[in-house]
Amino acid sequence: MTSRRLVLTRSAAIIGAASSGLLLPQLVRAQSDKLRVGFMLPYTGNFAPLGVAIENGFRMALNEQGGKLGGREIEFFKVDDESNPAKGIENANRLIQRDKVDVLVGTVHSGVQMGIHKVARESGVLNLIPNAGVHIATRAQCAPNVFRTSFSNSQPTLALGKTMVANGHKKAVWITWSYAAGDEAFEGFEQSYTAAGGAIVKKLSLPFPNVEFQALLTEIAALKPDAVACFFAGPGAAKFMRDYAAAGLNKSIPLYGSGFLTEGVLEAAGDAANGVITTMHYADSLDTPANKKFRLDYAKTFKLQPDVYAVQGYDTGLLLVKGANAVKGDLSNKKALYAAMEGATIDSPRGKWTMSKSHNPVQDIYLRKVENKQNKVIGIAQKAVADSGAGCRLG
Ligand code: PHB
């Protein structure tokens, strides 16, 4: 309980005692406060559409509960993190110290997440990660108050290599933005592709969020690999696919990727995305009641098609609902709150998933192909994929 709330609690108890002759339990006053939820997400820059989709999905899950959490009203706070790692700590502190949020929902960019992670570990405030896949947050630096509802950066690509080799592509070039998300997505790809007998002939990269791909595409054309695999996301991913097609590479060198490549960008990429094969913990065409209902409700509410980021935001809300309901809105009851979230099975549009001991989803990874501006599921690339959680001592 924050000291501010403690003061309120005690004064309420004293007023209550004075007026009724009874001493009110502290909990009553604490719970009549609004629950403070902070969004730290990108609302500008390449990842802005991702931040918006996450917030939309999260709000949708809470709206399904009448806009309450464990019976409590909610007050929202927002900070645009600009996907800027240099401001990560300062921005997290704005929500935690200034706004005194009970839970921080954020963020998208792995570098910024490291700032949030430091503040979350020091303050003990509940942090729900709705996207950023940086390994260390649920490995060596895992924490009881930090839960990820999305993926670890190597999870999607751990299911990619086998498919590529099975499709006859034995020599590949890898291309990405050079920061944690791209580097760790490569780890998953390297592990799965080389285990299946593939050889990575070259690793290419450019700084995030640079989208000047031309020189690297020229290099790919000269290397003539059997296939290209990549990690890109947001509008920059659409530009990559358009440039790849404009250079004529899509005719001779099939493009594969971590599924973020084709999330939320299929209109912008147009025909350039046709036939691109990816692995991801979601696919638009999943034929389940939960996915159908989610897609319909999301489109009606936000006049937008949902993507994996919307699903992750929604699942973040579902997880918090489970936790908050278990403690009847008293998030200061950490032991019971964390136990409820650790034991939760989330009935997600992506399919049911559970939380690993290190607080990262254990989930199926789908094989998808872009057809008619949809990520069509063509199979399950790997069932129940868990991150190693290496070095985490929780659970
Ligand atoms: C990340 O920085 O961890 C990240 C960003 C965007 C994605 C996936 C991962 O789509």
Are 230 and 174 in contact by the 8 Å Cβ rule? The answer is yes
Distance 181 CA to ligand 1 centre (A): 6
Ligand 1 midpoint to CA 53 (Å): 13
Q: How high does pLDDT run on average in the chain?
A: 93
What was the pLDDT predicted at 395?
Answer: 82
Cα dihedral sign for 197, 203, 209, 212?
Answer: negative
Report whether 330 contacts 71 (CB < 8 A). Answer: no
**Can you give the pLDDT at residue 210?**
98
Query: Is the per-residue pLDDT at 71 higher than 60?
Result: yes
In order of 23, 71, 182, 247, the CA distances from 29 in angstroms are: 12, 13, 47, 64
Question: Are residues 307 and 368 in contact, defined by beta-carbon separation less than 8 angstroms?
Answer: no
Whole-structure pTM value:
0.92
Which amino acid is present at 166? A
Distance CA(83)–CA(108), nearest Å, equals 7
User: Which of 46, 50, 107, 109 should be mutated for ligand 1, with most atoms under 8 A from CB?
Assistant: 109
Per-residue pLDDT at 22: 43
- The H or E element spanning position 263 is none
Phi first, then psi: what are they for 53, rounded to 5°? -60, -40
- C-alpha separations of 175 from 108, 140, 306 in Å: 20, 27, 27
> Is pLDDT at 97 greater than 90 in this prediction?
yes
Q: Which numbered atom of ligand 1 lies nearest the CA of 83? A: 2
Quick one: how far is CA 3 from the chain centroid? 32
Q: Per the omega criterion (within 30 degrees of 0), is the bond before 209 cis?
A: yes
Residue 11 has pLDDT above 90, yes or no: no
Q: Which residue has the higher pLDDT, 11 or 156?
A: 156
- Output the residue whose Cα is nearest ligand 1's atom 5: 109
The predicted pLDDT at position 10 comes to: 36
Whether residue 322 has pLDDT greater than 70: yes
- Using left for φ > 0, alpha for ψ between -120 and 50, and beta otherwise, residue 369 falls in beta
Q: What angle do CA 287, 50, 68 make, to 5 degrees?
A: 75
Q: Are strands 171-177 and 227-231 parallel, antiparallel or unpaired?
A: parallel
Tokens representing 80 are 């645009």
Q: In the predicted model, is pLDDT for residue 14 greater than 60?
A: no
Distance CA 369, CA 378 (A): 7
Residue 28: how many CA atoms within 13 Å on its side-chain side? 12
Closest ligand 1 atom to the C-alpha of 260?
10
Q: What spacing in Å lies between the alpha carbon of 387 and ligand 1's midpoint?
A: 16
Amino acid, single-letter form, for residue 318? L
305: helix, coil or strand? Answer: coil
Binding pocket residue ranges, ligand 1, CB within 6 Å:
108-110, 131-134, 153, 181, 233, 260
Checking if the pLDDT of 388 tops 80, the result is: yes
Query: Ligand 1 center to residue 151 CA distance, Å?
Result: 9
Ligand 1 atom with minimal separation from the 179 CA: 2
pLDDT tens track for 75-96: 999 999 999 999 999 999 999 9
Q: How many CA atoms lie within 13 A of 281 on its CB side?
A: 33
Segment holding 383, helix H or strand E: strand 374-385
- State how far the Cα of 45 lies from the Cα of 107, in Å rounded to an integer: 14
What's the CA angle centered on 265, arms 181 and 218, to 5 degrees? 70
Which ligand 1 atom is at minimum distance from the Cα of 134? 3
> Residue whose CA is closest, atom 2 of ligand 1?
109
**Which tens digit of pLDDT belongs to each residue from 154-186?**
999 999 999 999 999 999 999 999 999 999 999
Mean pLDDT, range 57-63, rounded to an integer: 98
> What does the pLDDT read at residue 26?
42
Closest CA to 307 of 273, 347, 263, 270: 263
Asked if residue 215 lies in contact with residue 222, where contact means CB atoms within 8 angstroms, the answer is no
Instruction: Please compute the mean of the pLDDT values over residues 123-137 and round it to a whole number.
Output: 98
To test the pocket of ligand 1, the residue of 47, 183, 232, 360 to mutate (highest count of ligand atoms within 8 Å of its CB) is 47
Name the residue with tokens 């895992």. 142
Q: Lowest mean pLDDT: which of 11-15, 110-114, 257-261, 331-335?
A: 11-15
- CA 134 – CA 182 distance, rounded (Å): 10
Give the percent of the chain with pLDDT over 90.
Answer: 91
User: How many angstroms does the Cα of residue 333 sit away from the middle of ligand 1?
Assistant: 31
Q: What DSSP line would sit under 317-350, residue for residue?
A: HHHHHHHHHHTTT-TT-HHHHHHHHHT-EEEETT
pLDDT at 361 over 90: yes
* pLDDT, mean of residues 347-359: 98
Mean pLDDT of the region 378-387: 96
Pairwise CA distance, residues 20 & 51, whole Å: 48
